[in-house]
Amino acid sequence: MSRPDTSQDALWVVYDGECPFCSSYVRLYRLREVTGRVHLVDAREPHPVLDEVRERGFDLDEGMVVKAAGRFYHGAAALQILAILGSGSGLFNTLNRAIFRHPRLARTLYPWMVRGRLATLRLLGRRTLHSAQGEA
Does 132 map to a domain? no
Residue 82 maps to a domain: yes
Residue 2 included in any domain? no
Q: What percent of the chain has pLDDT over 70?
A: 82
Q: Is residue 34 part of a domain?
A: yes
How many domains, the chain? Answer: 1
Judge whether residue 54 has pLDDT over 60.
yes
Give the structural domain span for 98: 11-127
User: Does 135 reside within a domain?
Assistant: no
**Structural domain contains residue 88:** yes
DSSP string, 49-95: HHHHHHHTT--TTS--EEEETTEEEETHHHHHHHHHHS---SHHHHH
| pLDDT digits 0-9 by tens, 72-98 | 999 999 989 888 887 667 787 788 888
Q: Are 36 and 9 in contact (CB under 8 A)?
A: yes
